[in-house]
A and B are shown apart, each in its own frame.
Chain A
Amino acid sequence: MNPVDVVIVDSGGANLASLRYALDRLGARSEISSDAGVIRAAKRVLLPGVGAAHDAMARLERLQLVDCLRSLQQPLLGICLGMQLLYSHSAEGATDCLGVIAGNVQQLHAAPGRPVPHMGWNNCCPSGADALLQGVGASDYFYFVHSYAAPLTDATTALTEYGESFSAVVSQRNFHGVQFHPERSSAAGARVLANFLAL
């Protein structure tokens, strides 16, 4: 086993720094890697993602990480786009994703008073038991930045609403995901990350 607490998959976006800083603040040792061996040997895996689904999947394919990620048995947390990549398919660029959680990621619909991308703080409504959400309540707000969203399915453990309801937190077996950015979500986000580190 890799001695660090968590391996962050280098999914190609800028801005892995804020995630590392958040882990540092929790006293967790992290390493950024795109190496399948390192990822397989990790205690826990973080799959961040900023940008477009097809670019991110193309990068994972180029790095030959698709099968590696699908077959992981240890806890994995997808963040933002990283969570969307866990689904079967994303409407963003009509992209086939990792498919470890069933469902199709859809575009958010803009409307007057509801611009897209959705950027801002939302509270989440826990809808099922999930160790990730221990100590998290409906009065906790999280920072969201996204134009696409995952539907409510059996995997949904917390939902939020922006014109429509969508999954804010999902868990299925060892695969977990948060649509918000825990590293930018103040104390509530740190709580979710700490919960993940305790899985």
Chain B
Amino acid sequence: MRDGVVVKGVRFRDHRVVGDILELAQRYRDTGADELVFYDITASPSGRTLARDWIARIAAVLDIPFCVAGGIRSVADAEAALNAGAEKISVNTPALQRPELIDELARRFGSQCVVVGIDSQASTQGPHIWLNTGDPGHSRDSGRDTLEWVSEVQRRGAGEIVLNCMNVDGVRQGYDLPQLQAVRAVCQVPLIASGGAGAPEHFAAVFNEAQVDGALAASIFHSGELTIPDLKGYLSARGMEVRP
């Protein structure tokens, strides 16, 4: 939801912004989204709890699963989000800083609601994890091997992995199939592709060629360029099973 929420709304306490999120959430619910992810990159240590009242407001209207990502650094943070009605929580940077967080979350809530988000980019030594990706001026290669991290988070209890392929993000030229294929080969839990969707054929390609379990996209839907019913119709016409 970066384009729809984060760019606009630096403060979730702003009711207009919350209203926008609710409106968007309902629009996607009504048009057949199978799951929504809310990236709260504004979650700051102070006032985070207050800012989270939007989770309950979304839970009240959404009857499909949704995941909350951003600012979850502890079991208590996760519990607050889940108690407010989120189906899953997603961790990224805090898990890199303290991998035991994944074990703690999986033990407390079960793997099924523990999603690990990974920002990754191909390098000459294979895919590497990138840091500070929410801040273009400071994002950098961590030097860490993505495939090793994918294996580690699964051992620690991650129930789902969202791979955001940085080099294609926002470019709308299609998902990073080689990178997703490499991750798929070592990923036994559900894998969600993120970054690069620009046309219906990109979705067909990522399901068929990288065998991902789900495809995440934001800008192409937010802009209204592609609607979910049109996308599902396209995939269905190509023999792929989709929820109507």
Contacts and interface: CB of A to CB of B under 8 A. Distances in A.
A15 B63 contact: no
A18 B228 CA distance: 24
B79 A21 contact: no
Given A15-B85, A186-B64, A119 B112 contact: yes
Q: How large is the interface on A (under 10, 10 to 19, 20 to 34, 35 or more residues)?
A: 35 or more
B34 interface: yes
A177 interface: no
A119 B190 contact: yes
A141 B112 contact: no
A189 B187 CA distance: 30
A53 B196 CA distance: 40
B112 A145 contact: yes
Interface residues of B, number: 32
B98 interface: no
A17 B213 contact: no
A24 B160 CA distance: 30
A185 B63 contact: yes
B177 interface: no
A163 interface: no
B34 A121 contact: yes
Given A15-B83, A141-B244, A146-B112, A117 B159 contact: yes
A25 B82 contact: no
| B29, B109, B110, B211 interface centre (most CB from chain A within 10 Å) | B110
Contacts of A185: 63-64
A139 B189 CA distance: 26
B38 to A, nearest CB: 14
Contacts of A98: none
B168 interface: no
A44 B84 CA distance: 24
A110 B187 CA distance: 11
Contact of A113 (B29, B56, B113, B211): B211
B63 A22 contact: yes
Contact of A52 (B86, B87, B110): B110
Interface of A: 13-18, 21-22, 24-25, 50-52, 110, 113, 115-117, 119-121, 123, 139, 141, 143, 145-147, 181, 183-187, 189-190
Given A15-B83, A184-B65, 14 more contacts: A14-B83, A17-B56, A18-B85, A24-B60, A110-B188, A115-B188, A120-B190, A121-B243, A143-B65, A145-B112, A146-B112, A147-B111, A184-B87, A186-B29
Interface of B: 29, 34, 56, 59-60, 63-65, 79, 82-87, 109-113, 159-160, 187-191, 211, 213-214, 243-244
25 contacts: A14-B79, A14-B82, A15-B87, A17-B56, A17-B59, A21-B60, A24-B60, A50-B110, A50-B113, A51-B109, A115-B188, A115-B190, A115-B191, A117-B111, A117-B112, A117-B190, A119-B160, A119-B213, A120-B214, A181-B65, A184-B64, A186-B29, A186-B63, A186-B64, A187-B63
